[in-house]
Amino acid sequence: SARRELALLIAPGSDAAQIAPEPLTGTPPQVGEQIALATAMERRPDLAAARAAVAASVAGIDAARAERLPDVTGTAGYKRQSDGLTGIFLGLAVPLPLWDRNGGAIDVATARATGASRQADLVRIQVRNDVLRTFERYRALVARAELVASLGAAGGAPDLLDIARVAWNEGETELIQLLDAAEAHLDARLAAARLRTSLWTSYFDLEPAVGGFDAALAPENDR
């Protein structure tokens, strides 16, 4: 069913009824927690949008303050009066008030900048929590997979199913015991597959949380 669904998503117009990708084996690449957090602060698009909103609101304050100073206009010319006098005249036009202009617009721009800054802080906290939550699940599953692998490798115990098969061939065991061993073997295989699936799923859940993986996110000594 999963292979058919994948075929419909990847090649809906083709004749392929099923698509089977290469199985994921082993454990995912190691990811460093601190580097993951730093990368998320740089790459997460929601945080970048929040920073852009802060920059735009700060620019709005500067624009409002630039309009605070009055625009002084000057006039000059040559004038002949009614009494026959003539001469050059100069004039300046200064709007009032002189220094308390556009105060309301500055207050509005300042309030918007404050709101944008607080929103950016909230987004930053959400990004950090998102990374830590997904990373903790990933790290817990990595530890569990390593523990299961170490127990299987260190014990060196032969496969119970093989023992049951040998005993069955030698006539030293009952059929029910052979079937129990086969069922236990199947359960162990299914448990290992579920653990591997959960581990890789947690790894791919961590990727969007940090804004994308690259080689810099896989240090050997940063867990």
* ∠ Cα 101 104 109 (to 5°): 115
Q: Are 198 and 142 in contact (CB under 8 A)?
A: no
Higher per-residue pLDDT: 95 or 5: 5
Decide: helix, strand or coil at residue 150: helix
Which helix (H) or strand (E) covers residue 80, if one does?
A: strand 73-80
Assessment of whether the complete model's pTM goes beyond 0.75: no
* Residue 220 pLDDT > 70: no
Decide: helix, strand or coil at residue 114: helix
Tens digits of per-residue pLDDT, 54-99?
A: 999 988 888 777 766 665 666 666 666 666 667 676 666 655 555 5
Higher per-residue pLDDT: 40 or 213: 40
Tens digits of per-residue pLDDT, 190-203?
A: 888 888 889 999 99
Tokens of 204: 């791919």
Decide: helix, strand or coil at residue 89: strand
Q: Are 56 and 109 in contact (CB under 8 A)?
A: no
CB atoms within 10 A of CB 128: 15
Between the CA atoms of 163, 167, 170 and 172, what dihedral angle is there, to the nearest 10 degrees?
160
Tens digits of per-residue pLDDT, 141-199?
A: 988 888 887 776 444 445 777 888 888 888 888 888 888 888 888 888 888 888 888 99
Q: Are 89 and 77 in contact (CB under 8 A)?
A: yes
| Mean predicted confidence (pLDDT) in 14-37 | 77
The 3-class secondary structure across 129-141, one letter per residue, is HHHHHHHHHHHHH
Of 6, 64, 35, 16, nearest in space to 131 by CA: 35
